Structure 1
Amino acid sequence: MSRLHVVSGKGGTGKTTVAAALALALAAGGKRTLLVEVEGRQGIAQLFETEALPYEERKIAVAPGGGEVHALAIDAERALLDYLHMFYKLGSAGRALKKLGAIDFATTIAPGLRDVLLTGKACEAVRRKDRAGRFVYDHVVMDAPPTGRVTRFLNVNDEVAGLARIGPIHNQAQAVMRVIKSPETAVHLVTLLEEMPVQETVDGIAELRAAGLPVGSVVVNMVRPEVLDGAAVEDAANGRRAAVAEALAHALARTSSGGRSRADAAGALVTPLLDEAREHTARLALERGSRARIAELGLPTCQLDLLGDGVDLAGLYRMARVLRTREIVTGTSEGAR
């Protein structure tokens, strides 16, 4: 079963929200989950309605069954200072380098090194054990960069190969890749039932597979309800104004004491309602095409409904309840099958 869950998706698909809900779902039943942010946007703090996350692991939520969700906003500069202290024993010297701007310089000119530091911190949390030999966290969930950048971000070994072929940096990169390319990891992609997000998901999965990275599930987020039945969809699609007007007039007449006066008023409502019905029908057709493309990927798929009032803490817990019953929580990654 996967222990590192990497969540990515095109901007605007709600990947941070899905990552937060997944962390809650995985923590259910007394588990401990670490939710990691690597882009410095403090999106996790906003979702859980808490203050900005510092560079330390902090409990931010309790899951059903007594589980705990901890969160960490990874900062590349602080991670590099930790790295220098861990491997080179540069405590105060490392802080002096930061004051001189050397740390910022290093993480800016060497994006591969930056990715090693960010992913390395998450992988360290995956491997970390307590004194009794038990894993400190049952699961680690990473709110990763968008789909277009996630493969390069995770496949840090290729970037670091040009920086160092031997030594601690090389060894650190290799250790990170051993976790990321193992059955312990699953990369989940979040999409909407829209053409561009679905296309980016298809392309992203192809890149992940080509790089040998373990793909998990596809999460279809913000799914809107189908408010028309099959017959109504067919009438709207074919522009059958008379049929719609007759049905509306009949419905109003049955619920009104005014009889024909209310029924006659139905005519004024038919045109705008029919326009909306046609738009709804066109959207359904596009969504069905998107579902078919997602199904062709051959991956487990989870659907999360649109929350009309926006996502608050109650909404996160509702999403987590849905995720708990899906393979994104109970299954394994593609690479482990």
Structure 2
Amino acid sequence: MVSGKGGTGKTTVAAALALAMATGGKRVLLVEVEGRQGIAQVFDTAPLPYEERRIAVAAGGGEVRALAVDSEAALLEYFEMFYRLGMAGRTLRRMGAIEFATTLAPGLRDVLLTGKAKECVTRTGADGRPAYDAVVLDAPPTGRLVTFLDVTKAMADLAKVGPIHGQAEGVNQLIHSPLTAVHLVTLLSDLPVTETLDTVAELERADIGTGAVVVNRMREQWLPDRSVTAAAGGRVDASRIRNGLSSAGLELAPAEIDGLVAETVEHAVAVAGETAALGRLDTEPDPPLSRLTLPNLLSGVDLGALYELAESLTEQGVRVEARR
């Protein structure tokens, strides 16, 4: 599962993670549950229907399939699976009964969403082998992540017997098992890092396994370490910059030199802040969390950039063992 504070790029990271895991001939399913069609946007494709379809080919012959889970469609599927109410279920949808049911029991919606992901994880083919080597879930933001994951336990307690109880209990067992890890995406600024650390603590209290912290949009440091502190404090020698440029055959106007000085200070301030945030990630959790980093792509994220991010994750050791 991939989560993060809104705006940190969790959907992009989930997509890159799925591509990295599919490297080398693996089959990976990328699932979204928020109804935003974020996966389709990242891969620049048409909106996804409620069905698994191939969305990308990974290095080494692997493939990524994608699924946008719709709670209404999942409930109809649930009715058909457990009650054989295919036609009746469609009638219930027209009557608005599905919306009524999920409003009456709000936790039911999340059980349906996570339940579909669980079905994909545990599904096997005719040969008994798992259908997917890995399932990557683009989960809700960290602000409601633990509620989304632990609601299955609440529903299991609410429905003491029957298919709903079994569904919720099965999802609950999977979420709390070694098969599941929650990866948290953050940017190196105070609010995302604080929310990430708070979520790590929440997951620990809920007994849900935490995977890696993914530092997204990592800024490239253009200054040597010894110069960052001074520059962040505004101590930049404009004459030294002018002389250095002049020796390289570049003559700039005073206003242009002033602009370079201002950019240098701005860069140093940002680097100093990110270094402090990185220090929090390294020291505050006990034990420290595994960390992955992704670069800040100045040109934005298109499909080609997504493959670059996946390659970066692969180089950092992201891989999955074949289950099939």
TM interval, short-chain normalised: over 0.9
Counterpart of 1:95? 90
Counterpart of 1:313? 303
Counterpart of 2:13? 18
User: Does the C-alpha gap of structure 1 residues 199 and 240 become closer, same or farther in structure 2, counting only changes over 3 Å?
Assistant: closer
* Structure 2: 5+ residue stretches without partners: none
| Equivalence map 1:1-337=2 (5 Å) | 6-161=1-156, 163-241=158-236, 244-256=237-249, 262=251, 267-296=254-283, 297=285, 298-329=288-319
Provide, for residues 76-99 of structure 1, a one-character-per-residue CA deviation record: whole Å limited to 9, x for no partner. 011001111111111111111111
Structure 1 position 161, deviation (Å): 4.2
- Between the aligned partners of 1:292 and 1:231, the Cα distance in structure 2 is 17
SS at match of 2:198: helix
Provide, for residues 292-316 of structure 1, a one-character-per-residue CA deviation record: whole Å limited to 9, x for no partner. 1111221110000011111011111
Preserved contact between residue 23 and residue 319 of structure 2 (Cα < 8 Å): no
User: Does the C-alpha gap of structure 1 residues 289 and 235 become closer, same or farther in structure 2, counting only changes over 3 Å?
Assistant: closer
- Between the aligned partners of 1:154 and 1:327, the Cα distance in structure 2 is 27
Counterpart of 1:335? none
Structure 1 position 234, deviation (Å): 4.2
Preserved contact between residue 10 and residue 146 of structure 1 (Cα < 8 Å): yes
* Matched letter for residue 309 of structure 1: S
Preserved contact between residue 134 and residue 320 of structure 2 (Cα < 8 Å): no
- Between the aligned partners of 2:80 and 2:320, the Cα distance in structure 1 is 38
* Matched letter for residue 272 of structure 1: G
Structure 1 position 11, deviation (Å): 0.4
TM-score (norm 1): 0.90
SS at match of 2:244: helix
- Between the aligned partners of 1:294 and 1:179, the Cα distance in structure 2 is 28
Structure 1 position 267, deviation (Å): 4.1
- Between the aligned partners of 1:285 and 1:256, the Cα distance in structure 2 is 31
> Identity rate of aligned residues, in percent?
55
* Matched letter for residue 319 of structure 1: L
* Matched letter for residue 88 of structure 2: A
Preserved contact between residue 33 and residue 141 of structure 1 (Cα < 8 Å): yes
Structure 1 position 62, deviation (Å): 0.5
| Aligned length, in residue pairs | 318
Preserved contact between residue 58 and residue 71 of structure 1 (Cα < 8 Å): yes
- Between the aligned partners of 2:58 and 2:72, the Cα distance in structure 1 is 31
Preserved contact between residue 153 and residue 168 of structure 2 (Cα < 8 Å): no
* Structure 1: 5+ residue stretches without partners: 1-5, 332-337
Structure 1 position 208, deviation (Å): 0.6
Provide, for residues 38-58 of structure 1, a one-character-per-residue CA deviation record: whole Å limited to 9, x for no partner. 000001011111111000000
User: Does the C-alpha gap of structure 1 residues 114 and 234 become closer, same or farther in structure 2, counting only changes over 3 Å?
Assistant: closer
Preserved contact between residue 188 and residue 277 of structure 2 (Cα < 8 Å): yes
* Matched letter for residue 287 of structure 1: E
- Between the aligned partners of 2:108 and 2:301, the Cα distance in structure 1 is 35
- Between the aligned partners of 1:277 and 1:67, the Cα distance in structure 2 is 43
